[in-house]
Amino acid sequence: MMPVVSFWIALLSIVLINEPATQPADRPVPSPSDALNSFILPDGYEINCFASEEMFPELANPIAMTFDASGRLWVAVSPTYPHLIPGDAPDDKLLVLEDTDGDGVADRSTVFADGLYIPTGFVLTGDGAYVVSQPNLLHVRDIDGDLVADERTIVLHGFGSEDSHHSMSALTWGPDGAIYLNEGTFHHTQIETPWGPRRVQHGGVIRYKPDMEQVDIVVSFPFANPWGHAIDRWGQSVISDASNGYNYKMTHLMGAHTYPDDIKGQGPYRNIRSFTPGGRRPSAGSEFIRSAHLPEEVQGRFVTSQCIGYHGLRWYDLEENGSGWITEAEEMELLQSTDTSFRPVSMEIGPDGAFYVLDWANPIVGHMQFNVRDPRRDHDHGRVWRITYPSRPLSKPPFIADAPVNQLLECLKAYENRTRSLARRALQEGDPKLVLPALAQWLEGLDEDDPEYEHHLVEALWIHQGLNHVDESLLERVLSSENPNARMAGMRALRWWLNDIDDPWPHLERGVLDPHQGMRLETVVALGHLPDIRSAELVGLATSQPMDADFETAFNRTLTALRPWGTPMGEGTIAWQLKQMPDSDLLELEMDHFVARERMRRIGLPETEREAAIRWQAEQASRTRIEQLLNVASDLDPDEDALNDVIRMIMASSPEAISSERDRLLEMAVTPELDSSLRQAAWACLAMDDLDFIDTWRIAEQSRDPRRSCSELLGSISLLQGRDELNPVVEKAWHTARLQLPLESHSIEEVQGRHVRISLPNSGTITLAEVEVISDGLNIAIDKPCRQSSTVWGGDASLAVDGDANGIFSAGTSTHTREGGESPFWEVDLEGMHPIDGIRVSGRSERPFDQRLDGYRIEILDDDREIVYAQDDLPAPQFTSQIEIGRSWDPVLVESALNAMCGISSRSKDSMEIMRGCVDSSNDPLLRLLAVEAMQSIDSEYWTEDDDRWRIREIELETIPDRMIYDKKKIQVSAGEPVRLRLANKDSMPHNLLICRPGSMRRVGIAADNMGTGPDAVKLNYVPDMKEILHVMAMVEPGEVDELLFMAPERPGRYPYVCTFPGHWPMMNGVMTVRKRK
C-alpha cells in the first residue's frame, strides 16, 4: 500500500498549463524554411534541409532510410499509412535521393520500387534491396542497372499483420552477414523455412540469413513497438522500444526458448533494465556516432529520438557497468525542435560524416491515439535534415561501389562505422574464392602494434561469418584477445558456429570464467543453444563471479533451456534450484549454508523452521543469534524476501541481546541504504533498550536526518506492543505522537513577505524552470528582480520568473548554478510586502537532473529579511510542486504521529476522539486526508454510526493489455466519503487517470490531445490546466501500481474518469457515479 505521504506529495505536485483549444489541423506542417527556425542545437552545430516534399513531392511520410555504397540515400515512404483505404491500391515507394554536386542538398530523386504496402524497413544489397511490403519480405532487384527494380520476389511470408506500425521494422545488416528485424506486440508470426517453421508472438527480434534461407528467433521479449536497432563498432546491438522509450542491450534479451515462450511474461524478464532514462518516449530509430567530421567529445555517443512532448534527438555517453551500460542525460541535447510536427523516425551518419535525420513531418502520429481515418493525418510531407559541424572538415566519402577486393579490405580499417559496414557487406556478397585468399593475405599484413589490431581481427572474423566459412584459428585469436570487446564479438560468432566446431568446450569454459562480466553473459547465452550435459555443467561456473540483475535474468533463461539435459552445480545454481523447490521439499533437506539461507529468505515458512535455520547459521559463524539476524536482515530484499518475518524474530530477542548490539542498531537506524522497515525495527529496539521513549526521541532529534529519524521512530511504535514491560514506553510514545499534531483546528493562515528564497543545505546544483509566487490567484513573481549564488551554462536567475515553465534545459528557459556549489541559493525580490498564498516550483524535467532539488529549503522573508515562513527537506518537484503557505505543521511527522496513535490499541478511544477533530470539515484538506487514512486501523468497537462515513471505499482498477481501456467502466461512491482508487497498469504503455466534473470529459480530452503535441506534454503528465479537473493520478508506468486517496464530491452526479495520454480519452474512460449520502 502506498503510504499517505505519497499522495500528499502528489496532491502538492499537480502540474498545470494554459493551452489554447486548438486541433493538430490548426497547426499545419511548416515549410522547410520555417521549420529550420524551430531547431535548437548545441554551439557549433548547424542544420540544413537535405530533401523535402517541396523538392520531391514523392517524399511523403518517410519511414526508413539508409545510404548505399555509392553515397546515395535510399528512403522508404508510406503515404498509405496507417492502412489502405478499401478500393485503393497500395503505392508506397522506395526512393533513391542523390546529391550529385556535393553541396549537402539532394538534387535528384528516383523511384526504385513502387506498389509497396507500408514498407516499415529495408536493407540494401548489391543489386537492390530486401524491403518490407506487409505482411511479406520482398527481394527487389535491379537487373539492368538503371536504378529501377525489374524483379521482385517474396522471400519470407507469414509475418503478423495485426498492427501495421508494430510490424517488422528496423531492418539492419548485422556484422555476421544476417538481416535483423524487429516485431512488436499484437503480432503472431509463423514463417515457413527450409529449416522448419519459426514462430514468435507479441514481440521479438528475428534473424534472417538470405544465402542459407535460415530464420532464427534471436529475441522473444514483450516489446511494445521496437523501432530501433543500432550496432556499435564491436557488434553490440541496442534495441530501442518506441512506445516506452526504453533502450536495451540486446544480449540481455537473448537466450534459448521454445514457442510459446512461457518465460516471456514473467516479471524479471519483463523488467530488464533500460540503460537510458525512462519517460523519453516515443523513440524511433537510433545510431552510434562515429564520424571524423563531428567533434571528438561526442564520438561513441548513442543517439535516439523522441517525437511526443519533446521533439528532437537525445544523446548519451555510455559507461560500462556490470554486463551492460549506464548513462546520464546530457546538459544539451543534439537537437530539439519547437515545431510539434517534427517527428524524427530514423537517423544515420552519412558518407560525408554529417548526421542525417528522417522526419515524418506530421501533426499527429500513431493510430492508437487517433482514428486510422482521422482527416487530420498528413499524407504529403516528409523531410531529411542534415546536421554538420562547420568548423571541422566533412569526411571524404569512401570509394566502395565496384571497388576491388583489396580496396574493400582496406575500408575495414576506416574510422566510420558506416564505411566499414558497407565495405563488409560488399565483401560478404563477393565470391569466396576471391575474398578469402585476399582476406588471409590482408590479415598477415596487419601490424600487431596497431591500436586497432584487435578490431581488424574482429572485422576479418565477421567476413568469415558472412561467407559461412568457419576459421577456428582466427576465432581462437579473437577469443584470446586482451580486449574484452573483441572477446565478446568472438563469443557471438561462436554462438552461430557451435555445431560447426568439433570441440567448442574449451572456448566456452574459458568464456564462462572470463573476468569480464559482459563476456560471461555472452558465453551463458551461447551455452543455452548447445543442449548437452556439459553445457549445464559449465553454466554453473558463471556463479563464481558477480552477476548483475540483467545477467541473472539471461542466466535463468539458459538454466531453464538446459534443464532437460541436466542440472548444473555451483553456488549460484544450487541457490537457483532451491528457489524453485516447494516448501515441503525444502524443509526435508539437511541443513547446510544454502538450505539455511533459503529458509531465511523464503516467505511463508513456519517460525520454528526459520528459528532452526538462524541458530544453525549463528553456530556455524560463531555469532550470537541477534548478530546473525541483523546480518541476514541487512541482505534481504524487502519486496521478495521474508524481511518482515526476520524483523519479528529480531523483536522477539531478549533485552540483553538487544543491548549487546546497541551500537550497531544505532548505525542501522540512520543508514539510508537500508529498507525503512528495517530502520524502524532498529529504532524500536533502541526504545526497548532505553525503556524511556523520550530518551530515544532525543536521539532521533539529534541524528543527521532528524525528520526522517523521528518519523520512523514514530512508525516503530507498532513493533513495541504486546509486551507488558514495554507498556510505559508505548504510553510515552502515544503522548509524544500527540504533541506532533496541530493543537487546534487548522485552516491555512495568511503569510506576508517580500523575498522568496530557495536553497540547498549542503553542496549541490539548483536548476529552476519557473518559480511562481501566488497572491490572490495571481503570479506576482513575473519579471521581478532575482539573484542566485552563481550562474553557469547561461542559466540566469531571471529565467525562473520569465513565465515559461519548460523544464527542458536546452530550451534556454531554466536557471543553473555552479555544479556542486556550496550552499547554493536562488532568490526573488517581490519589491514590497504581499500576502502569499502559495508557491509553485517547477524544476528541471530531464532525468536524472530532475532530482537535483531533492531536500531543498524554501523561505519567505519580510522587508527586514527576517524569516516569516520556512519549510525544509522538500522533495524534488515531480515536474512541478505546489507549496501551500501558512501550514505550520510538518505533514511527514504528522502523518507518522497519526498512524502511530491509531495503532496503539490501549489508547484507541482517545485516538478516535482526536481523529474526529482532525477530520472536521473546517480543517486543512491534507490534515483531513491524513486523519482519515490513519483512523482506519482503529478497532470497529470505537467507531460510532456517524463515524462510518469516514470508512475508505477501496476501488481497484486495472488497464487491459493492448486494448487501451480500464477494466471497469462504472464505479459508485457516496457523496463526501473518502475513496482510495488503486490503478494497476498491466498495459505496455503508461497511463494516467483524471477525475473530472460532470459533462467535461470531451473538453478535457481535447485539451489533453492538443497539449500532447506540445513540447511540455511529458513534463506536465498530459494534464491540462482546467477547473474541470478535480483529481489527478500521474502517469503510471507499465507494470506499476499507483493509488489516489481523495474525498468524493459532496454533490451527487456522474463524474467521468479518463486517461489523457494523447488520443486515449475516447476509449479509456469511465464514470464515477456519486450517490447521495444515506
Which pLDDT tens digit goes with each residue over 930-947?
A: 999 999 999 999 999 999
The pLDDT of residue 973: 96
Higher pLDDT, 718 or 242: 718
- 553 bridge partner residues: none
For the stretch 940-987, pLDDT in tens is 999 999 999 999 999 999 999 878 899 999 999 999 999 999 999 988
Sign of CA dihedral 568, 572, 574, 576: negative
- Examine the pLDDT at 529 and tell me if it is beyond 50: yes
Residue 329 cell numbers, joined? 542525460
Residue 26 cell numbers, joined? 490548426
Question: What is the maximum alpha-carbon separation in the chain?
Answer: 97
DSSP 892-953: HHHHHHHHHHHT-GGGHHHHHHHHHHHT-TTS-HHHHHHHHHHHTTS-GGG--TTGGGGSPE
Among 442-446, 761-765, 870-874, the least confident range:
870-874
Mean pLDDT of 457-486: 97
Residue 360 cell numbers, joined? 515524418
Domains of the chain: 34-388 (2.120.10.30), 751-886 (2.60.120.260), 952-1078 (2.60.40.420)
Output the CA–CA distances (angstroms, integers) from residue 804 to 24, 131, 932, in the order listed: 22, 45, 38
- Examine the pLDDT at 1031 and tell me if it is beyond 70: yes
Nearest by Cα to 999 from 1071, 1064, 939, 924: 1071
Please state whether the peptide bond connecting residue 135 to the residue before it is cis, i.e. omega within 30 degrees of 0.
Answer: yes
**CB distance 593 to 602 below 8 Å:** no
DSSP state of 717: G
- Examine the pLDDT at 1051 and tell me if it is beyond 90: yes
Mean pLDDT of 158-166: 84
Tell me the residue length of the chain: 1078
Centre a 10 Å sphere on the Cβ of residue 621 and count the other Cβ atoms it contains: 12
- 129 bridge partner residues: 124, 140
What does the alpha-carbon distance between residue 919 and residue 905 come to, in Å, rounded to a whole number? 20
- CB-neighbour burial class of residue 776 (10 A; exposed 0-12, middle 13-18, buried 19+): exposed
What does the alpha-carbon distance between residue 53 and residue 55 come to, in Å, rounded to a whole number? 5
- Examine the pLDDT at 238 and tell me if it is beyond 70: yes
* Residues 6 or more apart in contact with residue 261 via CB below 8 angstroms: 200, 201, 220
pLDDT confidence band for 25 (50 / 70 / 90): very low
Centre a 10 Å sphere on the Cβ of residue 965 and count the other Cβ atoms it contains: 18
Higher pLDDT, 610 or 7: 610
Helix-then-strand count for the chain, H and E:
30, 48
Please state whether the peptide bond connecting residue 655 to the residue before it is cis, i.e. omega within 30 degrees of 0.
Answer: no
Region of residue 814 (left: phi > 0; alpha: psi -120 to 50; beta: else)? beta
Give the pairing type, strands 302-308 and 324-326. Answer: unpaired
**CB distance 99 to 58 below 8 Å:** no
pLDDT confidence band for 268 (50 / 70 / 90): low
Nearest by Cα to 1026 from 1011, 1015, 1016: 1011
pLDDT confidence band for 375 (50 / 70 / 90): confident
- Examine the pLDDT at 758 and tell me if it is beyond 80: yes
Query: Residue type at 865?
Result: R
What does the alpha-carbon distance between residue 39 and residue 30 come to, in Å, rounded to a whole number? 12
Could you give the residue ranges of the DSSP H alpha helices within 589-624?
593-601, 607-621
What does the alpha-carbon distance between residue 123 and residue 51 come to, in Å, rounded to a whole number? 21
Residue 365 cell numbers, joined? 502520429
Region of residue 968 (left: phi > 0; alpha: psi -120 to 50; beta: else)? beta
What does the alpha-carbon distance between residue 209 and residue 169 come to, in Å, rounded to a whole number? 16
**CB distance 1070 to 1054 below 8 Å:** no
- 1058 bridge partner residues: 994, 1069
The pLDDT of residue 572: 55
Region of residue 489 (left: phi > 0; alpha: psi -120 to 50; beta: else)? alpha
Percent of the chain surpassing pLDDT 70: 92
* Chain centre to alpha carbon of residue 17: 25
The pLDDT of residue 933: 95
pLDDT confidence band for 641 (50 / 70 / 90): very high
Region of residue 522 (left: phi > 0; alpha: psi -120 to 50; beta: else)? alpha
Segment (H or E) for 830: strand 825-836
Nearest by Cα to 760 from 819, 812, 830, 809: 819
pTM: 0.70
Residue 298 cell numbers, joined? 561526442
Could you give the residue ranges of the DSSP H alpha helices within 89-145?
none
Query: Residue type at 652?
Result: A
Percent of the chain surpassing pLDDT 90: 64
Higher pLDDT, 565 or 285: 285
What is the rounded radius of gyration, in angstroms, for the C-alpha atoms of the chain? 32
- Examine the pLDDT at 1014 and tell me if it is beyond 70: no
pLDDT confidence band for 367 (50 / 70 / 90): low
Output the CA–CA distances (angstroms, integers) from residue 28 to 188, 306, 338, 365, in the order listed: 37, 20, 13, 14
Give the pairing type, strands 953-960 and 978-984. Answer: parallel
Grouping H, G, I as helix, E, B as strand and the rest as coil, residue 236 is coil
At how many degrees (to 10) do helices 908-918 and 925-935 cross? 150
- CB-neighbour burial class of residue 270 (10 A; exposed 0-12, middle 13-18, buried 19+): middle
- Examine the pLDDT at 385 and tell me if it is beyond 80: yes
Centre a 10 Å sphere on the Cβ of residue 724 and count the other Cβ atoms it contains: 6
What does the alpha-carbon distance between residue 405 and residue 412 come to, in Å, rounded to a whole number? 11
Report how far apart the first and last C-alpha atoms of the chain are (Å, whole number): 29
**CB distance 177 to 208 below 8 Å:** no
Higher pLDDT, 35 or 331: 35
Please give the mean pLDDT across all residues of the chain.
89
Residue 557 cell numbers, joined? 533463461
Among 274-283, 336-345, 533-542, 644-653, the least confident range:
274-283
Segment (H or E) for 1043: strand 1041-1047
**CB distance 971 to 1070 below 8 Å:** yes
Nearest by Cα to 380 from 107, 822, 59, 669: 59
Output the CA–CA distances (angstroms, integers) from residue 915 to 607, 906, 923, 953, in the order listed: 36, 15, 12, 18
- Examine the pLDDT at 861 and tell me if it is beyond 80: yes
Among 104-118, 186-200, 806-820, 902-916, the least confident range:
806-820
